[in-house]
Amino acid sequence: MTIQWFPGHMTKARRQIQDKLKLIDAVIELIDARLPLSSRNPMIDDILQGKPRLIIMNKADLADPEVTRQWLTHFKEQGHTAFPVDASTGTGVKDIPDQVKLLLKEKIDKQIAKGMNPRAMRVLIVGIPNVGKSTLINRLAGRSIAATGDRPGVTKGQQWIKVAGGEMELLDTPGILWPKFEDQNVGYRLAVTGAIKEEILNVEDIAFFAVKYLSKYYWEPMSERFDLKQRPEDFENPDEIVTVMEDIGRKRGCIMSGGRVDLEKASSAFLRELRAGKMGRFSMESPY
């Protein structure tokens, strides 16, 4: 799904989330484990107005586990509770209700001390498009509730979904937030992972960005996959990166008449394989 964000959309998205904050006890902020910076909304602290929050690093199955560990330490140092999940298979998802309970322990203990039966914890999931909000809602609910592809500005009657034996209630419509757009590299990182579709950025530019990054940090899995011999010596030299792209294109038979490599086709093939995890797990941002 591609969303073109304009100031009006952002204001509306923000207002929709802030209206829901009144109804809930805690927020689950979903981010992409491969891009914990670029997949976070730049104004999230301000938007959530101090609501207790769990940070969930989704798509952890695709991220470099060592880098994910560094992020977990980083978030802990910042005073946040964060943990990795894979919403597509459900790994880590069953721990979420207990983690929310820990987050709200003080509030729950107060209710118990007053002799009250603690009511269900009410939770809203927020995150940028394609981060896996609907997948997570469906996974937590154990059935298909949230349609993938919800768009900002489209409202429908909202419902509470009971999860964890009724201990927790989720709003069925997630809060959709815009990503960080300040620097162009953020856009490219989002595009490499598939969070921004290729109509917005040129596919060859996206692949160039990815090949350059992998040449630098994940040369081995990429060179193994495409049987590449020559690692660029200077990662800032575009000619060397294009040479790698051409080698990839030749390996995938992306040749035009005259024998030149079809870089557009090569780029699409490369990105498809990268996103499908064929070059192993990778992260594009690290905290240190």
Nearer to ligand G4P, 129 or 249 (CB): 129
Q: Is 138 annotated as a binding residue?
A: no
Q: Is 60 annotated as a binding residue?
A: yes
Q: Is 117 annotated as a binding residue?
A: no
C-alpha dist (Å) from residue 284 to 63, 97, 105, 205: 9, 29, 35, 16
Nearer to ligand G4P, 179 or 194 (CB): 194
Q: How far is the CB of 272 from ligand G4P (least distance, A)?
A: 10
Give the residues across from 31 on adjacent strands: 57
Nearer to ligand G4P, 87 or 269 (CB): 87
Nearer to ligand G4P, 112 or 276 (CB): 276
Q: Is 58 annotated as a binding residue?
A: yes
Which stretches of the chain bind ligand G4P, using CB under 6 A?
A: 1, 58-59, 61-62, 86-88, 127, 129-135, 148, 194
Question: How far is Cα of residue 56 from the mean position of the Cα atoms in its chain?
Answer: 9
Q: How far is the CB of 183 from ligand G4P (least distance, A)?
A: 22
Running DSSP on this structure, what letter comes out for residue 91? B
State the residue for tokens 């203990």. 109
Supply the DSSP string of 114-136, one letter for each residue: TTPPPPPEEEEEEE-TTSSHHHH
d(CA 83, CA 99): 9
Q: How far is the CB of 126 from ligand G4P (least distance, A)?
A: 10
Q: How far is the CB of 284 from ligand G4P (least distance, A)?
A: 15
Running DSSP on this structure, what letter comes out for residue 174? P
The residues, ordered by sequence, that sit 6+ positions from 160 with a Cβ below 8 Å of its Cβ are 122, 169, 170, 171, 172
Q: Is 258 annotated as a binding residue?
A: no
Indicate the annotated binding residues: 58-61, 130-135, 175
